[in-house]
Amino acid sequence: MLEPPIVRIRPGSPADAEAIARVYVKSWRSAYAGLIPNAVLIRMSATAQAREWSQQLSRRNRADSVLVADLRGAGIVGFGSCGAARSSLLPHAGEIFTLYVLPEHQERGIGRALLFRLFDGLIDRGLDSAIIWVLSQNPARFFYEAMGGRRIAGKEERLWNTTLPQTAYGWDDLRLLRTQGSDPTS
């Protein structure tokens, strides 16, 4: 019988920057091929990303929180970040900025575990509602629907010389998720 994966969700540190960058670049190339220009994906560099993540994780009093999924024997296979919502146009106080799980480790409950721990972090900071923006053509939107997110807004953003339709999913009261015990990993 297969042993279940042992995943530890923990705060990311500057020492994790290279591993986070690897997950980031691999996830972008796998998830966004055909959705954003190829040139953007080809140009991506794990080294440049590692530098950016290292700076972000080293910042003192940083506002965003970054969590990593550390899998026994494999290291960091996913990560996510969250903080106060970047726009005040929607009533949701918190925002999930990133959430990525390596393709070969998807569909094992790691994305859900990360998302609910990010939600916990938002609640602990008094941010009781959350949104996430996702490319409208990204199948990941079905994951957010499965996690109880409600489609609340749409927009078209001009990026990299192309127009990218995006959809926002919202959770109006994160505390309900906690009391309903929707996270089987908690």
- List of residues contacting ligand COA (CB under 6 A): 27, 31, 99-101, 106-112, 132, 134, 138-140, 142-143, 146
Radius of gyration of the chain (CA): 16
Whichever of 57 and 118 has its CB closer to ligand COA, that residue is 118
| Residue whose CB is less far from ligand COA, 58 or 86 | 86
Nearer to ligand COA, 58 or 75 (CB): 75
Q: Closest approach of Cβ 52 to ligand COA, in Å?
A: 17
What is the distance between the alpha carbons of residues 157 and 4, in angstroms, rounded to a whole number? 41
List C-alpha distances in Å: 166 to 8, 116, 147, 158. 31, 22, 18, 11
Nearer to ligand COA, 27 or 65 (CB): 27
Report, in Å, the least distance between residue 68 CB and ligand COA.
13
3-class SS of residue 25: helix
CB of 61 to ligand COA, least distance (A): 26
Give the containing element (helix H, strand E) for 135.
strand 130-135
Give the Cβ contact number of residue 6 at 10 Å: 10
CB of 33 to ligand COA, least distance (A): 11
